[in-house]
Amino acid sequence: MAGSRELLLQLYEAAVAAAHPDVCLAGHWPDVPQGGRLIVLGAGKAAAAMAVAAERHYARAGVLDRVLGILTAPYGYAATLGDKAPSHLRIIEGRHPAPDAGSVAAATAALELAATATPPDLVLVLLSGGASSLWSAPAAGLNLDAKTALTRGLLKSGADIHEMNTVRRHLSRIKGGRLAQGAGGADGHSAAGARLLTLAISDVPGDDPATIGSGPTVADPTTLADARAVIAKHQPRMEKLGLPVPASIGRALADAANETAKPGDFAFARSEYRIVATPAQSLEKACDLAKRSGYEVMCLGDEVTGEAREVAMAHAALAIDAHKAGRCLAIISGGELEVTVRNRAGRGGRSQEYALALALAIKDTPGIAAIAADTDGIDGGDGRVTDPAGAVVSTETVAKGAARHLAAQKFLDDNDATTFFENLGDLVITGPTHTNVNDFRAILVDG
């Protein structure tokens, strides 16, 4: 599997590199407005690298003295920049995937700085996956503990990113277009606020601006009723896991004052939104490399969803059929899968769960190897910079485990894929990649 493993890692790296801020932001930087300032606000897993890229660009242009800003990244990300860390733009760190006091401080600081913008200024918002947790400004009457409990409960119960963000937007003072409303005093009743430009790296299927970072600078098509429906759907599973919905959440979602900004709001009259990198673009780079490496390519797209182990079974069937037909095939896909947690003590993430389920499904078919990893470098876990990105598997994976007295099915049943792959040395460990275009999966079939 040595050759396959090397190529699998190269495919992953190609997908990640295509969405790095140094690459995808080039050509999109706005000019600093004459007679005004450029106020840079950002949040997400790419925020630290975005800060570096912004500072470098405007320093070269000789206008850094009229640029100021605050960007928010997960804990530990800034330190991984080393001597590239920005000295002019400020980085605040917060917790992901569940927000903490740092996330609240960051959102508050962003709202306060946005409010200082005047009509001659331009507010540049740099968004990437993870911004929803890193910018947490609880709605009136709601505390962080309640929001954190809800976030954990929804994640553990298998809520997808669209459902998560539908709820988050209605429990926040910054999401659902509210940052745009607050830029320079644009309150939804006038267009007097500053101009605003958002540059976003998409991590969501369909690249919906209202879902990326929970849409702090765009109108929200969902309603309080939609948010209540998400809670109702997942509440039974949350209660079974011992993670009940706090009573204050219900009250907040019943309060009309927490409805989000809608299309036609004056806050968007001077606002522009550009997506600078997408999961589909990253998959295309990986597909190109696979073709150059001699494989026929089957791209399943960037919107693959579903229970991780069930999707793995479906993809394994495709690979086994290709092997039987003697095809040399690369099956490549993106999208965000779900994991129904059965053992809260288990360690893992959706990519590792997929990889382990896939390994079990291909164990009797030779010539198949695969990688499943999150493009942000962190799959599951507690969001630490030392958490694995995913795992590499092959036809031999289950047998390798058995030789070490590790029953792959037992580890899958226990949602403990990290421990299994850790023992085999098959984890993919990259540290933060400073971007995020969702999950990446590739299966190589040597017919």
pLDDT of residue 192: 56
Phi, psi (deg, nearest 5) at residue 104: -70, -45
The tokens for 29 are: 């930087």
Tell me the domains of the chain and their CATH numbers: 20-137+172-222+260-277 (3.40.50.10180), 280-445 (3.40.1480.10)
pLDDT digits (tens, 9 = 90+) for 322-375: 999 999 999 999 998 988 888 878 899 999 999 999 999 999 999 999 999 999
pLDDT digits (tens, 9 = 90+) for 369-425: 999 999 999 998 777 899 999 999 999 999 999 999 999 999 999 999 999 999 999
Which residues in the chain show pLDDT less than 70? Answer: 1-3, 185-192
Exposed/middle/buried for 356, CB within 10 Å: 0-12, 13-18, 19+?
A: buried
pLDDT of residue 447: 78
Please tell me whether residue 235 adopts helix, strand or coil conformation.
helix
Please tell me the distance from the alpha carbon of residue 346 to that of residue 404, in angstroms, as a whole number: 19
For the chain, give the number of residues. 447
Neighbouring residues of 39: CB distance < 8 A, sequence distance ≥ 6: 68, 69, 113, 114, 116, 117, 121, 122, 123, 124, 194
Q: How far apart are the first and last CA of the chain?
A: 14
